[in-house]
Structure 1
Amino acid sequence: MKLIGQRKQAKESAQHRAKRVVMAKLIQNGHQEDRVSSDNRQQNETLLEGTFHYSQFRNGLIVQAGTFYEIAQADVLAKAGPCVCVTLLLSGCIGFGYEGQDHLLDATKGAKAMAVNLARECAFRRHIETSQTKIRKVNLLLRPEWFEKSHLQLPESVRQYLQTHLATWCWEPDSQQLAWCEEMLVAETIADPWVRELMLESRAQLIMLDLCRQLAACAPETFGCEAQSLLRVPDSLSGVVAYLESNLHHDIRLQEVATATAMSVSVLQRRFKQELGFTVLDYVRNRRLEKARELMRQENLSVCEAAYFCRYNHPSNFITAFKRKFGITPGECGIGSEPTTRTG
């Protein structure tokens, strides 16, 4: 099976490689032909190659399992949430992020697991790097209704976790959890579809039981620290922010944003300014600069490539905007192709 995405490549110089930004969607034509294909109308490019499984259950649980290789360089963007996203990585290394938060799971020396709570819809980014290392992972996505058990009250720390947007919980899977993951990764070998789905759901439930026990045993205030430093977006604007985050690499027009979020332009502008204290275009400009800084640090983008990502026509304008926001130029903080200024 193949994961296919459409790349939109920044202008490259001979010395620098640009990160490709892609939008992808799942197309299912039977288990032997499942793939993720771009929404764009240009030639597709294979990003991941291997075996993948996807199952959705009526109780708000989604199970994704895969064994694959990353064979291209790209950032895949999509919308996610509200849900708890649990990633169990048995081998390899993967990078991903939500809004202003980025994560790196490295299982080269042992399996790792992470649960991220998405209290509202937000932008999801998956960072793909060319690698010869096999990646084996299981994802569990649980919508809020999964945690609703009749009229029983949630443990306070679990309730606090579910109310904290982007709250994270990391752990190292034990031997029993790893055995459940191994069964899920080879689910396609079970001939009977009913038995296969029953096995997947039961193993996912057991993993979540272990996770909920961990959460219930910790202090409720554990989850607020990192999320407090992020932009607090009211529910009324969560869809707007998710749309903007998913389209940072495109030209963004207010009318398109308003149409996509069922508002008029005037209502959109007024609500955004009142609730967040700045305009829609200010938000887009700042997030592009922040993302460009991340890519320059992590992917060695040049100033020209970062300027292209931020939609600036000339690198000098990008450098001016970068310094206005961060107080220093890209060269002064040691990123990009601009020479570093030294004094003394």
Structure 2
Amino acid sequence: MESGHAQTNVPKVVLTQTVVENDKQVIMSQNRFSNTPIVEGKLINYEVPQCFAIYGGQSTELVDSHVVASTSAAMIITVVLEGSLTFGYDELEFTIDGNTQPEAILVNLTQAASFHRGIEKHNRLLKVNLLFHSQWVMSRLSELGDPFSFTSQHLSYVRSQVSPKMRELVLSILQCEQPQCFSTRLKIESLALQVVEEMFDHLPDSTSQYDQSALPSAISSRIEDVLNYIERHLKQTLTIDCIAAHFSMSSSNLQRVFRSHVGITINSYIRQRRLRLAKHNLEKGLVTITEAAYEAGYNHPANFTIAFKKAFGIPPAKVVKT
């Protein structure tokens, strides 16, 4: 039997957009709030495609909400100097109270994952996120004979207090204007790499030699791109033919290569990812069972309940947040 309504005071936001209003950046929701601001402040958003991205700033959260998005395979550093932040990837979840103890968290994603983040009205946040794409990381590790095993484990993470040097580096990043020329780009990229260096000092030493077979081949890199594409389009219609066409592959070849690397069929993978996302949203009270069923691609809640129970051993009503 379906549970009651999802929490209406903490709506889910799937898409956001940053705009400039009166010399300040505003993050606008594009889902349940129609063009409603959810965060405002002095924000930075800098990206080198297929390499890394820097985003964050000093902001004030304007509503109680919850952001759900997808992220590709990457190594991600989150540093919170002030304010509180609750966020996570798939089932992994963190809470940082920067007012009590500034903290940095490094998370490694070897495959695409669902990102979720809470937004709390009146929360003033000072933070930065550094995202380094998987291929950027692996291209550097391939030159090492004894790298950190951390980078080969999905959802591995390290938490650490913010050292005085890291705090200084993060504040320097946040004081940078949006890079517009070569020298300012070099400056912010140099600061970001120094943060990575500081964070990696907290990683445990590798206990085994590097397995060269773990390096992505041209094919496995292509499959990583396929996984990321699927993650970004989970809420849309996904067929093997449309995915194959997007990557200029035949459907039969895509299915064969995908199964050899992932271990299951594309349709099975899509179904698993949608069910896992539905489970997370139900646990957070973001959707009703009917909404979760629809978002997971099931036209009838009864069919969704059967698939959910088969995947997790319990019916969806057991995980609904009340």
TM-score (norm 1): 0.70
Amino acid at match of 1:80: S
Match runs of 1:1-344 below 5 Å? 16-17=7-8, 20-24=12-16, 32=23, 44-55=35-46, 62-71=53-62, 73-81=65-73, 83-98=74-89, 100-108=90-98, 109-119=100-110, 122-123=112-113, 125-142=115-132, 154=144, 156-158=146-148, 160-188=149-177, 200-215=188-203, 218-221=204-207, 234-299=220-285, 301-331=287-317, 333-335=318-320
From the superposition, tell whether residues 241 and 88 of structure 1 become closer, same or farther in structure 2 (CA, over 3 Å): same
From the superposition, tell whether residues 196 and 238 of structure 1 become closer, same or farther in structure 2 (CA, over 3 Å): closer
Amino acid at match of 2:162: P
Aligned-residue identity in percent: 24
- In the TM superposition, residue 137 of structure 1 has moved relative to its aligned partner by 0.6
Structure 2: stretches of 5+ with no match in the other structure = 209-218
Q: Quote the Cα distance in structure 2 between the aligned partners of 1:157 and 1:328.
A: 40
- In the TM superposition, residue 63 of structure 1 has moved relative to its aligned partner by 3.3
Q: Quote the Cα distance in structure 2 between the aligned partners of 1:147 and 1:325.
A: 32
Q: Quote the Cα distance in structure 2 between the aligned partners of 1:206 and 1:157.
A: 18
Aligned-partner SS, 1:262: coil
- In the TM superposition, residue 334 of structure 1 has moved relative to its aligned partner by 4.8
Determine if contact 2:56/2:174 at 8 Å carries over to the other structure.
Answer: yes
Aligned residues: 306
* Higher RCO (CA 8 Å, separation ≥ 6 residues): 2
1:227 aligned residue = none
Aligned-partner SS, 1:106: strand
Determine if contact 1:78/1:246 at 8 Å carries over to the other structure.
Answer: yes
Aligned-partner SS, 2:199: helix
From the superposition, tell whether residues 182 and 136 of structure 1 become closer, same or farther in structure 2 (CA, over 3 Å): same
Aligned-partner SS, 1:207: helix
TM-score (norm 2): 0.74
Cα-Cα RMSD: 4.2
Q: Quote the Cα distance in structure 2 between the aligned partners of 1:263 and 1:203.
A: 40
Structure 1: stretches of 5+ with no match in the other structure = 1-11, 223-232, 338-344
